[in-house]
Amino acid sequence: MSSTAPLQPDPQPVSACTISRDVQQFDLLIEDMEAAMGENWGDLGFEDALAFLEQPEADELEFVAVAISKEDERLLTLIADIIARAKRRDIKVVLIADDVSPAALHQLLREGGDEFVPYPLPEGELAQAIDRLRKGVGPILPEPAAAPRATGDRSGVVIPVQGLAGGSGATTLAVNLAWELANVDSKAPPRVCLIDLDLQFGTVATYLDLPRREAVLELLSDPASADSESLLSAMLIHNERLHVLTSPSELVPLDLVGPDDMARLIEMARVNFDYVVIDMPANMVDWSETVLRAAHVYFATLELDMRSAQNTMRLKRALQSEDLPFEKLRFVLNRAPGFTDLSGKSRARRLADSLGISIEIQLPDGGRAVTQSADHGTPLSEGAPKNALRREIAKLARSVHKVNIAETEATG
């Protein structure tokens, strides 16, 4: 008499997956996934998810549930990459958000999130979201109050910042000045945007821990057809206050944008913001004149060294020979000598006298805290609020705002 071994059922393919830094922090998500998917789901960390989504097994996935908390906002670039990779495989994406800022949430939804469910999960909400995915019904989105919207009712102050030598602190000044202006008045905070016009090697995105989006390159590639809405949709919002147009994600030529297009871009920003801070490239390009003419004040950073002196003289001669408004420049001495450094102060006076300029702003050396804040993607007011450099930039922001308010009231 023959016998047969019992047949083992084939394992069911995994048709869904949670992606998180630590799924154990989302215990309600585990329960709801088990209720909705039974045993047919798995779990991945952020780094593992990127690799898995490139594997053939990913074709079996119906959707992924990306669970993020406030701590994960520093990983937005990585999370956006995961979402983009899932969308390339036609995999639906459900965002599970625990105490995530509206700006970060809207950014991820724009990157390709199909559904949003807040955490802790409301009763039955995940099952309803999965059902909507399967039926192809649009998501129920959170309130879009924090999403950037065109107002068209402003007449913003344009403040470019350009370094006259590498490492002279131009981007540090631009980023922190913009952030201080955005927070200069807690009762009536001005609308502020920061535009990174160093199209090739701009680092504003790094300083604020923001991803670089394809929408920026699309905007700059065809600015003639852009409007205020498309400009604001290409921007990201840092901590619900500061609108940022980062440099493109790809290396592009500096002449990608012409002078007329640049004038249009700046004007679109002006009518939607009270302050438009621009981080300029070190190079002088064909639209540099456009920015200079549009500027209300133009900060030029330099240091106590021969590089800065020579480049300042070159810039001064070039602008004056072309009859351009050199008087708009306000020279900013970075890592200025301290109060008791009499020798350093004497050198600074001799530098200004020899160049025929006035150094109106002197910023102290902020030390390692400045580099650390930049590496962590936070403004100095958050990473090193008592830092001497931060205090001086905050003082500069208050001065700029005070002058602007006074002029507005005088003409008003």
The answer to whether residues 180 and 310 belong to one domain is yes
Measuring CA to CA, which residue among 313, 299, 309 is closest to residue 361? 299
Please say whether the beta carbons of 81 and 111 come within 8 A: no
Q: Last residue of some domain: 118, 142, 166?
A: 142
The CATH code of the domain that includes 80 is 3.40.50.2300
Instruction: Please check whether residue 94 lies inside any domain of the structure.
Output: yes
Residue 381's pLDDT is 94
Instruction: Please check whether residue 361 lies inside any domain of the structure.
Output: yes
Residue 146's pLDDT is 42
Q: Sheet holding 275-279: strands in order across? A: 236-238, 242-245, 192-196, 275-279, 157-163, 298-302, 329-333, 359-362
The answer to whether residues 203 and 120 belong to one domain is no
Residue 149's pLDDT is 53
Residue 276's pLDDT is 98
Which residues share a beta bridge with 43? 18
The answer to whether residues 134 and 186 belong to one domain is no
Instruction: Please check whether residue 120 lies inside any domain of the structure.
Output: yes
Task: Answer whether the bond into residue 120 is a cis peptide, omega within 30°.
Answer: yes
The answer to whether residues 216 and 342 belong to one domain is yes
The answer to whether residues 163 and 72 belong to one domain is no
The answer to whether residues 252 and 333 belong to one domain is yes
Q: Last residue of some domain: 119, 142, 165?
A: 142
The answer to whether residues 229 and 104 belong to one domain is no
Please say whether the beta carbons of 259 and 175 come within 8 A: no
Residue 4's pLDDT is 42
Instruction: Please check whether residue 10 lies inside any domain of the structure.
Output: no
* DSSP codes, 328-345: GEEEEETT---TT-HHHH
The answer to whether residues 242 and 317 belong to one domain is yes
Sign of CA dihedral 261, 247, 172, 377: positive
Please say whether the beta carbons of 363 and 180 come within 8 A: no
In the chain, % helix, strand, coil (3-state, to 5) comes to: 50, 15, 35
Q: How many domains does the chain have?
A: 2
Domain that holds residue 29: 16-142
Residue ranges for the chain with pLDDT beneath 70: 1-13, 136-154, 412
Q: Last residue of some domain: 96, 116, 142?
A: 142
For 89-98, how does the pLDDT look when each residue is reduced to its tens digit (9 = 90+)?
A: 889 999 998 8
Please say whether the beta carbons of 182 and 189 come within 8 A: yes
Other residues' Cβ atoms within 10 Å of the Cβ of residue 402: 11
The answer to whether residues 221 and 268 belong to one domain is yes
Measuring CA to CA, which residue among 186, 117, 184, 132 is closest to residue 157? 184
The CATH code of the domain that includes 227 is 3.40.50.300
